[in-house]
Amino acid sequence: DADVTQTPRNRITKTGKRIMLECSQTKGHDRMYWYRQDPGLGLRLIYYSFDVKDINKGEISDGYSVSRQAQAKFSLSLESAIPNQTALYFCATSDLAGSSYNEQFFGPGTRLTVL
């Protein structure tokens, strides 16, 4: 089973709709992240969370919100979707311990299209 899962994998929606993307992890990591990927721009950080009570804005948080429901779950919401939020969205996790220190582990991505 995958360590970091994202649902849905694909979503098509209309302008103005509220959308929630979900991320779950079984790695036991405290830190979780949401990125968006656009062609030619790489990945840009939207929000990150170091534990359940800690939420931080990233590079491009406008138009997005997040919820850390539990250590294992981190959701990204688009309150009123707009076409330029069409992108590939990735969830990632990391931990400070052991040999994987400072490495981020990525989910498979959610492809979102806003019409």
Partner 1 sequence: AQSVTQLGSHVSVSEGALVLLRCNYSSSVPPYLFWYVQYPNQGLQLLLKYTTGATLVKGINGFEAEFKKSETSFHLTKPSAHMSDAAEYFCAVSNNNNDMRFGAGTRLTVKP
Residue 25 tokens read as 């992890």
CB 108 within 8 A of CB 5: yes
Which residues contact partner 1 (rule: CB under 8 A)?
4, 31, 35, 40-45, 48, 50, 56, 90, 92, 94, 96, 101-109
Q: Pairing relation of β-strands 105-106 and 87-94?
A: antiparallel
CB of 40 to partner 1, least distance (A): 6
CB of 107 to partner 1, least distance (A): 5
Q: CB-wise, 20 or 106, nearer to partner 1?
A: 106
Cα–Cα distance for residue pair 113/69, rounded to 1 Å: 25
CB of 109 to partner 1, least distance (A): 5
Which amino acid is located at 31 in the chain?
A: R
